[in-house]
Amino acid sequence: MGYPNGLVSVSPGKQPLFSFGVITDVQYADIPDGRSFLGVPRYYRNSLLVLQKAIQNWNNRQSISFSLNLGDIVDGYCPKEQSLEAVKKVVKEFDNFNGRVYHMIGNHCLYNLPRSKLLPLLNLPSADCAYYDFSPIPEYRFVVLDAYDISAIGWPDDHPHTVEAVNLLNEKNPNLEKNSPDGLVGLERRFLKFNGGVGKDQLKWLDKTLQDATKSNQKVVVCCHIPLDPGATSKESLLWNYDEVMDVIHRYDCVKVCLGGHDHKGGHSVDTCGVHHRVLEAALECPPGTNAFGYIDVYEDRLSLIGTDRMASTEMDVYVPDFQLAMSGCNLKLYPFDLIYLLVLVMMIRR
Ligand SMILES: [Zn+2]
């Protein structure tokens, strides 16, 4: 069956177009188990076993063409003298996967190593830039954002991006301890030092990339360590300028799914323009014997996340009726089918 926007519905038994693996927040450290600030147990050594299990699982499937690491591979509590070796150790584990691994940077990676030392270890398409895009098949594009582009962590102290981040934190967060949300109200609670923002150049690049994807009739998956939608995460784990990033994303209708990490409990929402936001559950919080990783089967009309243990499975449709998008203010054209539906809707309301 065809949809008005040209998408084709796929029966559940049909083969996916391609599949890819997902894991986030491994936060490995060779230290005893501990707890988060909120008292949630953290299993620093076991997380490496979770990663090994993930890679074994992806390799056994053979159909997994690449994998995404959503960031935070080594924990901030890792002793500093071990940071370099710990990062190398986790990257080496990822290298056991029989396909390409696309890495993202997270705050914990940057507690351990400055960007100049971290980025060259992550096999990024460009060793000095943490945002990039790639197309596994011509119909799909993945856009990887650098959530710590504007950040008080990772850049040299006198770097303009550090200065911009420090100024923003001073303006938005009156606490002496900038990781404390005390007194901050509602969405303002995101202005914490362990979060970050997407800079102006990166925003321009995102706009150009989505414009290009639209011209090429590609569907897009946006990946970012820090979540982009308040509905999918706690207010304390949101990108500083999530609204600016989403404004760019909503200018186009090519982005279907945004994937994130950072908020360890995970989450899922569908925003007003029909974009799915799936924040993935952390590997770090898996008690020994449990796991949190998965793979995503991509079909014409949906992305199907098949999670293991603590990672919840999620169906994400990539078809949203255009009348719904138009009514929610998204910048989309209406199709005749939608106009008829709208007309019927209006007539029913008037009765
Ligand atoms: Zn993080």
Here the tokens at position 333 are 């054209």
Expressed in angstroms and rounded, the spacing between residue 9 Cα and the centre of ligand 1 is 36
Under the banding of pLDDT at 50, 70 and 90, the label for residue 320 is low
- pLDDT recorded at residue 347: 75
- pLDDT recorded at residue 64: 98
- pLDDT recorded at residue 39: 86
Expressed in angstroms and rounded, the spacing between residue 265 Cα and the centre of ligand 1 is 12
Expressed in angstroms and rounded, the spacing between residue 147 Cα and the centre of ligand 1 is 10
Q: Please say if the pLDDT value at position 153 is more than 50.
A: yes
Measured between its terminal Cα atoms, the distance across the chain in Å is: 33
Question: Token pair 């009514």 is at which residue?
Answer: 327
Q: CB neighbours of 285 closer than 8 A, spacing ≥ 6?
A: 25, 40, 41, 42, 43, 264, 265, 292, 310
Burial 43-82 (b: 16+ CB within 10 A, else e): bbebbbbbbebbbebbeeeeebbbbbbbbbbbbbebeeee
- pLDDT recorded at residue 340: 65
Under the banding of pLDDT at 50, 70 and 90, the label for residue 127 is confident
Residues near ion ligand 1 (CB < 5 Å) are: 72, 106-107, 262
Q: Which 3-state string (H, E, C) describes 1-58?
A: CECCCCCECCCCCCCCCEEEEEECCCCECCCCCEECCCCCEECCCHHHHHHHHHHHHH
Q: Please say if the pLDDT value at position 342 is more than 70.
A: no
263-289 residue pLDDT tens: 999 999 999 999 999 999 999 999 999
Q: H/E element holding 314?
A: strand 314-317
Q: Please say if the pLDDT value at position 248 is more than 70.
A: yes
200-223 residue pLDDT tens: 999 999 999 999 999 999 999 999
More confident residue, 331 or 7: 331
Share of the chain above pLDDT 90, in %: 84
CA atoms within 13 A on the CB side of 239: 29
Expressed in angstroms and rounded, the spacing between residue 205 Cα and the centre of ligand 1 is 23
Expressed in angstroms and rounded, the spacing between residue 154 Cα and the centre of ligand 1 is 13
Expressed in angstroms and rounded, the spacing between residue 210 Cα and the centre of ligand 1 is 25
When mean pLDDT is compared across 1-15, 69-83, 194-208, 277-291, the lowest value belongs to 1-15
Of the options 3.40.50.150, 3.40.50.10860, 3.60.21.10, 1.20.140.10, the CATH number for the domain spanning 18-320: 3.60.21.10
- pLDDT recorded at residue 322: 60
Expressed in angstroms and rounded, the spacing between residue 130 Cα and the centre of ligand 1 is 15
Nearest alpha-carbon partner for 258 in 330, 205, 318, 193: 318
- pLDDT recorded at residue 7: 40
Expressed in angstroms and rounded, the spacing between residue 272 Cα and the centre of ligand 1 is 26
Domain ranges of the chain: 18-320
Q: Look up the pTM and report it.
A: 0.90
Under the banding of pLDDT at 50, 70 and 90, the label for residue 339 is low
- pLDDT recorded at residue 36: 84
3-state helix, strand and coil shares in percent for the chain, rounded to the nearest 5? 35, 20, 45
